[in-house]
Structure 1
Amino acid sequence: MTPAPPPRMVAAVALGGALGALLRWALGQLVPDGSGFPWTTFAINVSGSFALALLPALAAVRRSALLTVGLGTGVLGGYTTLSAYSEQARALLADGHAAMAAAYLLGTLVACLVAVALADRLSTAPERTSFDDADGDR
């Protein structure tokens, strides 16, 4: 059985998650998707994927498990949104926009993978290993 995480780690994830969700909500209010392709959610998920993959390149994050979980699981977990992504794809399908739904689903996947690959190139293998060893892979 895995021991419970320290309360400060739980608090970092909770606070970070609230901040990330608030940022996502604010962006949705500032730049609403409207009708058609859900560009705002697309941009949020791609930028969040890039930022998450960039964390190993940041020395301060590699040195602090608290920052790792607060920024990764917390902020970026709250910022990105699989639920909105899947709901928007479902709504596009329900509205008879199968081609747009497919483009949204596949386009988001490809764009997020490209963003991760680009961010990954900004860190070194030892940095990524150090990050993983500090529980940054959770």
Structure 2
Amino acid sequence: MTLAACALVLIGGFFGGISRFFLSGVVGRGVGETFPWGTLAVNISGAFAIGAFAGAARAVGGVFASDLVRDLIVVGLFGGYTTVS
């Protein structure tokens, strides 16, 4: 992995983690804290987003022009979004 790829994963992970924290809190405050609804919402939406981007990447003329874009979006952003707890 190149230094540029590592930097993009770091940047994406930062924003993914912040997004998870924000969405999980909003959902938790909205429906209550008796069950971790925020965590469930984040994990389901993140899995859907990763699948959608992976499917789009396989299409002709897909969204991933390079591996660096994939590193930023899937590995960094959505990886941080679905992993940070």
Normalising by structure 2, report the TM-score: 0.80
Return 5+ residue gaps in structure 2 as ranges: none
Normalising by structure 1, report the TM-score: 0.51
Work out which of the residue numbers 15, 20, 41 in structure 1 matches 2:16: 20
Q: Which has the higher contact order (CA 8 A, sep 6+)?
A: 2
State the number of aligned residues.
78
Contact 2:43/2:82, CA 8 A, preserved across alignment: yes
CA RMSD of aligned residues (A): 1.7
Q: Residues 1-36 of structure 1: CA distance to partner in whole angstroms, max 9, x if unpaired?
A: xxxx11110001000000000101111232326432
- Paired position in structure 2 for 1:65: 67
Q: Which amino acid in 2 is paired with 1:16?
A: G
Identity of aligned residues (%): 36
1:53 matched to 2:51? The reply is: yes
Work out which of the residue numbers 37, 40, 54 in structure 1 matches 2:38: 40
Q: Which has the larger radius of gyration?
A: 1
Alpha-carbon distance in 2 for matches of 1:44, 1:73:
16
Return 5+ residue gaps in structure 1 as ranges: 85-138
